[in-house]
Structure 1
Amino acid sequence: MKHLVKGRKLSREKGQREALLNGLIANLVLSEKIVTTEAKAKELKPLMDKIITKVKKSSADKQKKVSAIRDLKKDLNDDCVKKLFGELIKKFEGRTSGYTRILKLSPRKSDSAKMAVIEFV
């Protein structure tokens, strides 16, 4: 039984899984909409919401902003960080949560994997 087991393994080891999710986060930030499997989208949604909440909270204080930028640059490239602190923070000013949405698509033809679109609201 899977009691108290959080998250999905996505058929990968820890390092591969983290790299995959960091790549998905970067692609979502840059293109604002990506098509992926439903499991990856469900794993990505809470991570992206936490990142945006962190960016919004840190934008008020100078030291928090510097710290947040430093933390985000460990996982994301400079273009993603600039877009998060510039364009996306303005887009979500009036919103307190629920920054992303998952829309289900028809299964992929090759392997019938459940597909979904994850996008910013």
Structure 2
Amino acid sequence: MRHRKTGRYFNKNSTHRNAMLLNMMNSLINNEIIKTTLMKAKELRKIIEPIITIAKKNTISNKRLIRSKLNNKYNIIKLFNVIAPQFQNRLGGYTRIIKCGFRNGDKAPMAYIELIGRKIVLKKKKVK
């Protein structure tokens, strides 16, 4: 029976899946946008949004709770000092998933997952 079994397995065992999602969380906090498959982006959204909700309240217990999940002190500092204050007046929906076509090798649907309200830096082209 499959009572209360939720989530996607990605044909990986649990330790590999948890490590993959942890790395994706750290990359998303660090870069504020990542490109991945659509299913992984949907699964990552379910994990990262409660973490941002916890980080909105800047207490020692919340820092310890997130420290047990992220294991990267620079991303924890960025999460509490930069990302969470942007979402103080927002009740949820901190991420956006944008579909961007298919991967060349196996035609898996690809998507960008980004934090809402990130600063977009445009590169200037050099004109000769």
TM-score, normalisation: structure 2: 0.83
Larger Rg: 2
Larger relative contact order (CA 8 Å, sep ≥ 6)? 1
What letter matches 2:52 in structure 1? I
CA distance in 1, matches of 2:14, 2:98: 27
Q: Identify the residue that residue 114 of structure 2 maps to in structure 1.
A: 119
Of 65, 69, 87, which residue of structure 1 is paired with 2:63? Answer: 69
Structure 2 matches for 1:10-29, cutoff 5 A?
Answer: 10-29=10-29
CA RMSD of aligned residues (A): 1.5
CA distance in 1, matches of 2:100, 2:79: 27
CA distance in 1, matches of 2:7, 2:109: 18
Structure 2 residue ranges without an equivalent (≥5): 117-128
Deviation at 1:111, TM superposition (A): 1.3
Query: Could you report, residue by residue, the CA deviation over 1:66-116 in whole angstroms, capped at 9, with x for unpaired residues?
Result: 122122222320011000100001211221100001111110111111100
Structure 1 residue ranges without an equivalent (≥5): 60-64
Aligned length: 115
Q: Identify the residue that residue 62 of structure 1 maps to in structure 2.
A: none
Deviation at 1:7, TM superposition (A): 0.4
CA distance in 2, matches of 1:3, 1:105: 34
Counterpart of 2:24 in 1: which secondary structure? helix
Query: Could you report, residue by residue, the CA deviation over 1:9-62 in whole angstroms, capped at 9, with x for unpaired residues?
Result: 011111111111110000000000000001100000011110011111x32xxx
Bigger fraction of residues in helix: 1
What letter matches 1:68 in structure 2? N
CA distance in 1, matches of 2:106, 2:23: 23
Q: Identify the residue that residue 97 of structure 1 maps to in structure 2.
A: 92
CA distance in 2, matches of 1:10, 1:45: 15
